């Protein structure tokens, strides 16, 4: 099955997760952390879901899935342990449907994600090995640590301030900037810009 990598604006789509087990929870966590508007339908939930309920980060319907309701959502995760229910959810869905019981039957796959602010890495195996995806996610999480969130914000600021100035935009992609504080980044960049100005004059 061919795949088209794409990022969706999570704040502008309605998301449905049917199921309350471990896989459903992992998908829920990924989507909530991305700012998604998540509705969960499940008769039973893992205790881990309680945090999101307390913080009002998800909408919960503690019951069975009802025929046709998947059609109201733009992204649907069929995460029950009943194949017939997952198949019904897929039939009802008119948008992106992810099947956790058989990824190839759905028309989308929710990958493992490493997110640092606006910096997002996604890892997928087209359902071949979710365990391997999680292993790679762990490695990338260590490689691209929390510093990258402020670093990407810095790159965005520089791109706006120095639009069209290729030498400056290339300079700030140097890895030395990643683990600096914002003050150190600005000072280092200013020194580079000053030197560049002197060379040109």
Percent of the chain with pLDDT over 90: 75
Bridge partners, residue 112, by sequence? 123
**Direct distance between the N- and C-terminal alpha carbons of the chain, in angstroms, rounded to an integer:** 57
Quote the crossing angle between the two packed helices 182-200 and 147-161, to the nearest 10°.
Answer: 30
pLDDT bin (cut points 50, 70, 90) of residue 54 is: confident
Q: Which residues of 53-66 are buried (b: 16+ CB within 10 A; e: fewer)?
A: eeeebbebeeeebe
| pTM (global) more than 0.85 | no
pLDDT, position 192: 95
Query: Which comes out higher in pLDDT, residue 127 or 68?
Result: 68
> In this predicted model, what pLDDT tens digit does every residue of 130-160 receive, in sequence order?
899 999 999 999 999 999 999 999 999 999 9
Q: Kindly report the length of the chain.
A: 201
> In this predicted model, what pLDDT tens digit does every residue of 35-52 receive, in sequence order?
899 999 999 999 999 888
The domain 10-109: what is its CATH number? Answer: 3.40.50.720
pLDDT, position 55: 86
> In this predicted model, what pLDDT tens digit does every residue of 5-25 receive, in sequence order?
888 888 889 999 999 999 999
């Amino acid at each position: 099955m061919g795949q088209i990598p794409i990022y969706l604006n999570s704040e502008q789509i309605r998301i449905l997760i049917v199921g309350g087990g471990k896989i459903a929870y992992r998908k829920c966590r990924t989507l909530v952390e991305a700012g998604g508007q998540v509705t969960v339908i499940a008769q039973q939930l893992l205790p881990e879901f309680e945090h999101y309920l307390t913080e009002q980060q998800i909408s919960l319907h503690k019951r069975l899935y009802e025929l046709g309701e998947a059609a109201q959502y733009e992204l649907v995760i069929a995460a029950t342990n009943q194949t017939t229910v997952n198949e019904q959810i897929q039939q009802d869905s008119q948008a992106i449907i992810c099947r956790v019981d058989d990824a190839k039957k759905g028309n989308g796959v929710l990958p493992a994600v490493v997110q640092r602010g606006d910096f997002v890495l996604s890892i997928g195996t087209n359902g071949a090995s979710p365990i391997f995806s999680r292993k790679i996610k762990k490695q990338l999480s260590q490689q691209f640590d929390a510093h990258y969130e402020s670093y990407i914000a810095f790159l965005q600021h520089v791109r706006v301030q120095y639009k069209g100035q290729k030498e400056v935009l290339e300079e700030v992609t140097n890895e030395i900037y990643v683990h600096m504080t914002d003050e150190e980044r600005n000072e280092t960049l200013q020194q580079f810009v000053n030197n560049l100005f002197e060379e040109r004059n």
